[in-house]
Amino acid sequence: QQQVKQSPQSLIVQKGGISIINCAYENTAFDYFPWYQQFPGKGPALLIAIRPDVSEKKEGRFTISFNKSAKQFSLHIMDSQPGDSATYFCAASRETSGSRLTFGEGTQLTVNP
Amino acid sequence: NAGVMQNPRHLVRRRGQEARLRCSPMKGHSHVYWYRQLPEEGLKFMVYLQKENIIDESGMPKERFSAEFPKEGPSILRIQQVVRGDSAAYFCASSPPAGGSFWGEQFFGPGTRLTVL
């Protein structure tokens, strides 16, 4: 019940295209859903996060879509750039209790020039 | 405002030795989390600490692993009698106290890459 399932495992997109990464969770107690970006040899960097009181959040080229009834959320990267090539992790937690993050398995995104 | 700091960045140990990993949270943050990332895998929670208290250690192996976050100084993750399977990247994250607008957001350090020979 603590799992977060992420897909696809890898994704190749052309420059200017849209990258879409999907996650599904099981624990209905989760109330905080962040996305992290990780470059090789670096720590994960918080990209964008959403709470279940909204269905969508946009920050620049990055958008999170959230479907509470389906227990799914996704990251959309518009106008993908080669500099976006990295590993992306979705995560979930029970924010109100300051608890641990449960991470998805990660998606390795490659944006070709 | 400096981010989360971890040291050493790389650590090589032989089997049976001890590994000590240090984490200094962001200024003003009172919550520290440790995660482990095996090669080509996602991050797995190990332990959550507040100053002088272990809040949740459910992800940490019962043997050989321990963590502390003293009143003064960095948080320490200690691995005794390391084995090859302990080779991984260990990340520390910190978050601010409850009640603020960034409550729940965890900010990660650069990690310590442990190699056990």
Collapsing DSSP to helix, strand or coil, B97 comes out as coil
Q: What is the mean pLDDT of chain A?
A: 92
Q: What distances in angstroms separate CA A8 from CA A46, A76, A104, B27, one per listed residue?
A: 20, 13, 11, 36
pLDDT mean over A14-25: 97
Q: Which residues of A touch B101 (CB under 8 A)?
A: none
Quote the pLDDT of residue B97. 75
Please report the number of interchain residue pairs, chain A to chain B, with beta-carbon separation below 8 angstroms.
Answer: 58
Give the residue with greater pLDDT, B75 vs B38.
B75
**Tokens describing residue B61:** 């192996």
pLDDT 10s digits, A85-107: 999 999 999 865 567 899 999 99
Quote the pLDDT of residue A44. 94
- Distance in angstroms (rounded) separating the CA atoms of residues A86 and A62: 14
CB atoms A32 and B104 under 8 Å: yes
> Which of B108, B112, B113 would best serve as a mutation to test chain A binding (most A beta carbons within 10 A)?
B108
CB atoms B109 and A104 under 8 Å: no
> Which of A96, A100, A105 would best serve as a mutation to test chain B binding (most B beta carbons within 10 A)?
A100
